[in-house]
Amino acid sequence: MPKSATDLKLDSALTLSQAAIGCDFQIRQVEGPACSQLRDIGFCEQMRVKKLTNGRNMLCTVCGTRLALSKDLADQIQVVPA
């Protein structure tokens, strides 16, 4: 069940795929097999992200840019409430 930013303590992290739609989060860790490509486009720690949709492919915004991510990739991104 997705958790909203208000349901979490500031020190608790979850994956982007677990995050609630419409909430703002800060990226804590980007680590996994395909994450180097995310880093190449500037998707990295300390950035703010907002999850817009859920499902097999999810849509989020980072720095005003919409980005589609697979669930597998979103599972490799740890976020905390912003």
Over the stretch 13-60, which tens digit does the pLDDT of each residue have?
899 999 999 999 999 999 998 888 888 888 889 999 999 999 889 999
Number of H helices, E strands in the chain: 2, 6
Angle at alpha carbon of residue 8, lines to 22 and 62, rounded to 5°: 35
Give the tokens for residue 61. Answer: 């915004």
Q: DSSP state, 60? A: E
Coil, helix or strand for 36? helix
pLDDT score for 12: 80
Report how far residue 55's alpha carbon sits from residue 44's, in angstroms, rounded to the nearest whole number.
22
Check residue 10 and give its pLDDT.
Answer: 47
pLDDT band at 4 (very low <50, low <70, confident <90, very high): low
Can you give the C-alpha Rg of the chain in angstroms?
11
pLDDT per residue over 55-81, tens digit each?
889 999 998 999 999 999 999 999 999
Give CA torsion, residues 42, 44, 46, 50, to 10 deg: 80
Structural domains in the chain plus CATH codes: 16-81 (2.30.30.90)
